[in-house]
Amino acid sequence: FSVKFLEWVRNTQLEQKTKIYYQTGWRLLKMTRLAEMRIDKVTADHVETLRFPNSPSNANCALRTLRRMLHKAEEWKMLQKVPKFKLVKEYGRSLRLNDESEQKLIAAAATCGWRKRSFELFRDVVILVRDTGMRNERELYRTRIEHLDWTNKVIFVPDSKTPEGRRPIPMSDRVFDLLKVRCGEQRQGWVFPSKRSAVGHITTVGKQFRQARTKAGLPENLVLYCGRHDYGTRILKDTGNLAAVMRTMGHKDVKTAMQYQHPELDIIRAALNKHNDAQSTAMAS
């Protein structure tokens, strides 16, 4: 069945990123005993016993792929009913790549023995994710010099996972300085070019991130994308402007953006307590 499914993935109109996601998911599933089972014999009990390496998002990549495979099997009349199973809980939004984590990662990277260009690339990516909130693979790595407005200190994102993803993002002072050094006198081309990449730009710094994370003693479920979550949390806390946060992060769903609002609960709680204390004092007098 996997052969038929992967052929469908290759030939369908899915986005390239989705195709890669399902191909990666199958590679993970292929390492489990499910790979030797008939598709119509897979049960929820079998799925619950599966274990995958690295982060919860890795496990969910495999589980989402399996779920899609089962639904296709049902659609192709090879399966009567799709078994229900839960994804692994991810802690990406609660775990933040904050100031302390950034400093530890960059300090650790400096001692990893990388070439100077590799270290500077890693450092710049970490800083940019934290100060722009850009999606690393879909947006940051694809940034072109033509999309940098030096006069107004703005980065324009021309394409993203949603229509709302097309947006301007303000440059902080350190991002402006960093990009000026990185781009130099060039006026066009990739901000993060790569001669070894078929698409012409870098597509990941995952290996370097894991190495620096381990050396820095940071938790394994801390990933680069946590820098985007930290951006949303910090900006919402400092500005209180949910609409502005949604625009700069490319969100169309208020519920998604509201996940960054948890620090504001302390402010609300303090206001309520202040009001109630004042009321109590007035009634006592």
Residue in the structure block whose two tokens are 């004092």: 281
pLDDT of the residue at 238? 81
Give the mean pLDDT per block of 10 residues along the chain (285 residues): 95 88 93 92 92 80 95 94 86 74 96 96 96 91 96 90 80 96 95 93 94 94 89 82 81 58 55 74 75
At residue 30, the pLDDT reads: 93
| Model pLDDT, residue 268 | 59
Strand partners, 168: 156
The reported pLDDT for the residue numbered 246 is 81
- CA gap 62, 116 in Å, rounded: 36
Residue-level pLDDT at 36: 92
The tokens 């996972």 sit on which residue? Answer: 161
| Cβ(17)–Cβ(142) below 8 Å | no
Regarding pTM above 0.75, the answer is: no
Helix (H) or strand (E) holding 157: strand 154-157
174 near 131, Cβ under 8 Å? yes
pLDDT for res 117: 95
Q: Which residue in the block uniquely carries the two structure tokens 């990739």?
A: 190
CA distance 235 to 240: 8
193 forms beta bridges with 201
